[in-house]
Structure 1
């Protein structure tokens, strides 16, 4: 789900500025390349190319096809894969080209049941979007990773769309405006197709909403897949998500290096839920939301016409305030991480474009900064400490809660505020035994719970 995964997108946005120290880069990139090549060679060895070609040919009534060679070429890696999937071209005798979308396998790969659930959800999402005017690749077939699948891996066979990934920073103002005009039309089209619950489409050919199709919200218990249930209010969903994170902190599954800071942060976010979540209406509707809208999910031609919106893995429904907020790709990265509470120049233009077609959606952008800050703080990677401090200060400033406190002052206040939280006390005792203690005086001059040094 966006909130837990959001820091991955955030780190990507900041990493383009080259924040890895030079000495580390000299070691990191060669090692990364070798590991990636080894990973893909193992993946290629599992794929039965003849079976993949035969299945594609069968789906086109026997038209012969060939599968592009599976080979690792670091110079072409961006054209073949992203962070989660590898793509190979299938060329038919009549020059039609499909793509086979295949999940990568590495140390972060979740169990097979999770992979299957996410793949079927992506297929269901693309089939749902085929009923709209949103430009997305057509799905021709798919298979899960099972014994009766002769290809050997799970895959989706889909249309290869023309165009290249949008490079937002390189676009000039006129090109950006042209893309925003089209993107506004896409969001207005999505608004015409509400869905009844918060979650992910999980059944191809149906508009049924199931649990969120995101590995961070899927769990295996007793050999069975457990999903994060569909929800019927944004407040219910956010509270459940934050409770899950708090549970994982206590179980030492998240934030092992900074458990107290992480617990206090997410306990505070629980208090902000009613502040940031509009009151639910009796007939609340939800809308499909791309989970990784940093810009390269949009394909454009040389004239900046949008030819497609791709990479719908992890897509989910969201309340309007989130579904129609400005895409992450429009955020002014430096200002956003500095905690600036106002929207950026591109967002302001996008809001104006939306207002011409749908004022409600424009308001989601104009009032969206607090929503973005909340989402980025939820599940954030605390190893980027400076980035976190800016975002967290911006969130408190924007919401008008604890806005005048530095991090150190806020932390002391939070320890006092939540001293009645028994799980926090358990965590503090555990940290005292393993790390040391810092004693904080409460407002009456007494001593509060210990904290990490």
Structure 2
């Protein structure tokens, strides 16, 4: 079974239990083990933390069980993890198109947004024992506990030399300044290439001034939440009756502020150019949150634009 980034091999046990062996697709170059192992560890730690903290049976039963070997050479000679097999089909909100806006009939669209809202509401009720922004990993000093480590996701620049990842961060100001400074350094080395490198450098300098002057970004968050970093619909498995049977792809998930955690995924506001106004799908999501008596999450949608 092929995904966008991983290959899954089905393992069937004599007692009927089924698991998936999950490994990276070969894109012509192997990611350094230090990076791939950190990504795998973070996903496993995140799902185990969720299953330990969640109080809703409806959410607990749709979260997969994951495990891995910290030293893959003791198991198989390639980076991998094991994932509990969950029944269901990924929700195809793009109607066959890999990327783009949601393409569903009106009744299916309303159903998807309603289910999406209910999952987000359940995630919002999970109390996390953390104080910093970053990705969850296992505590090396206590194997039974987790902690927040560096930020490991697709939208985060990495340093070319070890340690590659940055964080964890006490505030978003600290986080964004670290990312901007890394971008400035890489642009100056011509590593981040573009058609207008000087303009790119100056734009990042201006953005650095704005971030550095922001009081809001300098606030230490009073509570933190888990953000699913790949919530584009197909992370939700559903059965033939349209019921959600699983939430998968916790790779790159991270701990962050409430405002960021519940800002809608880009599938809700996929618009190139044009006015920076809320889309009809964002309004539908706000209505769903209000319908379930969560105006605070509706505000996260409303304020999710610049």
The aligned residue for residue 111 of structure 1 is 32
Change (3 A) 1:283 1:249: closer
Distance 1:259 1:227 in 2: 24
Say if 2:203 is the partner of 1:265: yes
The aligned residue for residue 143 of structure 1 is 69
Q: How does 1:54-69 map to 2 (within 5 A)?
A: none
Q: CA RMSD in A?
A: 2.4
What CA deviation, in whole Å up to 9, does each residue of 1:121-142 have, x standing for no partner?
1100111121324332112x31
SS in 1 for 2:36: helix
> Greater CA radius of gyration, 1 or 2?
1
Distance 2:88 2:21 in 1: 17
SS in 2 for 1:153: coil
* 2:116 corresponds to which of 174, 183, 201: 183
The aligned residue for residue 308 of structure 1 is 246
**Deviation of residue 364 (structure 1)?**
0.8
Distance 1:282 1:152 in 2: 42
The aligned residue for residue 149 of structure 2 is 210
Change (3 A) 1:116 1:206: same
* 2:82 corresponds to which of 152, 157, 174: 157
Q: How does 1:36-435 map to 2 (within 5 A)?
A: 80-107=1-28, 109-131=30-52, 132=54, 133=56, 134=59, 135-139=62-66, 141-144=67-70, 146-149=72-75, 151-170=76-95, 171-192=104-125, 193-194=127-128, 195-203=130-138, 205-214=144-153, 217-219=157-159, 221=161, 224-273=162-211, 278-281=216-219, 284-331=222-269, 333=270, 336-356=271-291, 357-370=293-306
Change (3 A) 1:105 1:300: same
Higher relative contact order (CA 8 A, sep 6+): 2
**Deviation of residue 358 (structure 1)?**
1.5
Residues 10 and 21 of structure 2 are in contact (CA less than 8 Å); yes or no, is this contact kept in structure 1? yes
- TM-score of the aligned structures, taking structure 2 as reference length: 0.83
**Deviation of residue 250 (structure 1)?**
0.9
- TM-score of the aligned structures, taking structure 1 as reference length: 0.58
Residues 238 and 246 of structure 2 are in contact (CA less than 8 Å); yes or no, is this contact kept in structure 1? yes
What CA deviation, in whole Å up to 9, does each residue of 1:324-359 have, x standing for no partner?
01122222x3xx211421111111010111123321
Structure 2 alignment gaps of length 5 or more: 96-103
Distance 1:278 1:266 in 2: 19
Name the count of aligned residue pairs: 284
Change (3 A) 1:283 1:355: same
Change (3 A) 1:108 1:344: farther
Distance 1:147 1:364 in 2: 44
SS in 1 for 2:73: coil
